Structure 1
Amino acid sequence: MTAPQLPEPLPVLWPLRPLGSAAVWTAAKDGRTVVTIRHAPLAQVTPEMLAWWYHHVPGTMRYAGETWPRYLVWHPLDHISYQASSPVVHPGTSLHITEAPGRDTSKLIDVQVTVETIDTQAAIISKRLFGTSIIRLENEFTAYNGGTRYVTRLTIGDNTPLGGLVLNRMAHRRAFPPAKLAAWIRHHIEEIGNLENFLPDLFRYRSDHEP
């Protein structure tokens, strides 16, 4: 299988948030690793906007004088592709996501996941095998001072018997070994922080067929 090609970087119109802008802590329990990221508040981004965004990541938008896939604008350096099984993303939609944190293809993330939840409180995706959750990414948001408090929780592994026997080791060694996990944390802080730079205008001027 041919490895996904990293596209040329888009212009970076706004500074990306630094790692230190968020509080990050990691816990290990029952063979699982749980990474929690409390992002700095997103100014002028409401939970309603975030719910709309996660429904409508597929599509294009104007950026730096050209039209680009929204997923590439979300992180103009690291993102590669975002393929959804439906034009509007909803619970049950399958997503194929590829990205290279830090533009380092040795840390390539190429994963197929299923959407569990999208609403004004959370966006949740997961990768499951034989009823066991290998990866689960929970994004939770609450209104705060005209913007949003945003907390991410990434769970690697599961506490099922099959997880303990085989799948947890595979998740930790192949999906998120330590170096890739560290790179993803920085990447995720950057992409979530970037939403406040373009999402309010994108939501305000969204087309009539994207309610």
Structure 2
Amino acid sequence: MVRPMPLPEPRPVLHPLRSTDSARSAVRRLSHHRIRVTIDHQPLAGVTPSMLLWWFRHIGDEIEYAGERMSGYLAWHPLDHVAWELARPAPSGGADEGASYRIVEAFGRDERFRVDSVERVEKLDETGIRLVRRIAGVRVFQLEHTWSWGPEGTHYVSVMDLGCRLRTFSPVNRHLTTRVFPEAMAEAWVRHNVEEVGVLEHLLPDVLRQRPDEAARLTVGP
């Protein structure tokens, strides 16, 4: 049985949180009661795709933040993140492609918008990460972040799909998008995701300064 996790006290906010108007976003209702949320983020200056790949592979590592030791995940969004666990390691070990992540968070620190879910990492490379949840082998949730290098930094796009394309899954989709993850929660996630992605522009260089051995292996440009 998965143990419930209380919302912890907020950690200090050391880095500016971007506003939603810094990104282009949309919440769309699709056929068979599906929802798609897209966010095209402002570029991340000083962050490369290889740095983002490293981050997701080491998201549970302990770091120094605000004078304390904590997981990188808790520092990533110091208000909304509750916990991250490696539910199942990747075939190659650790938090790589093929692993399953348990993610616990409350958007806007609002318990109505709490997520406690285990998703499989079906893709993780220098172009992005894809997290998927399936029911009876059918994909009902997908969150994909894609990254590409640009002149102003890394271009980062997030796309969340809730529900299955199959007509027979319409009742499941309706439950997902009205009870489990309604549109108000999707809007709250937009704000949360804009904030956490923007924090990476500041947090990730700070973390890598604590890990010069790793930083030396990462590329500085495209």
Calculate the TM-score normalised by the size of structure 1. Answer: 0.92
Note if contact 2:148-2:154 (Cα within 8 Å) is conserved in structure 1: yes
Q: Distance in 2 between matches of 1:174 and 1:189?
A: 24
How is 1:1-211 mapped onto 2 (pairs within 5 angstroms)? 3-31=4-32, 32-84=34-86, 85-86=88-89, 88-145=94-151, 147-164=153-170, 166-206=171-211, 208=213
Q: Distance in 1 between matches of 2:208 and 2:5?
A: 30
Partner SS state of residue 208, structure 2: helix
Report the alpha carbon displacement of residue 93 of structure 1 after superposing the two structures with TM: 0.8
Q: Distance in 2 between matches of 1:135 and 1:158?
A: 8
Report the alpha carbon displacement of residue 203 of structure 1 after superposing the two structures with TM: 2.8
Give 2:110's aligned amino acid: D
Give 2:208's aligned amino acid: F
Partner SS state of residue 156, structure 2: strand
Relative to structure 1, the CA distance from residue 83 to residue 2 in structure 2 (aligned partners, 3 Å threshold; closer, same or farther) is closer
Deviates more, 1:79-88 or 1:109-118: 79-88
Note if contact 1:109-1:175 (Cα within 8 Å) is conserved in structure 2: no
Note if contact 1:91-1:115 (Cα within 8 Å) is conserved in structure 2: yes
Note if contact 2:104-2:114 (Cα within 8 Å) is conserved in structure 1: yes
Task: Please tell me the root mean square deviation across aligned C-alpha atoms, in Å.
Answer: 1.9
Report the alpha carbon displacement of residue 15 of structure 1 after superposing the two structures with TM: 1.6
Calculate the TM-score normalised by the size of structure 2. Answer: 0.88
Q: Distance in 1 between matches of 2:107 and 2:148?
A: 27
Give 1:111's aligned amino acid: S
Partner SS state of residue 69, structure 2: strand
Count of aligned positions: 210
Q: Which sections of structure 1, spanning at least 5 residues, go unmatched?
A: none
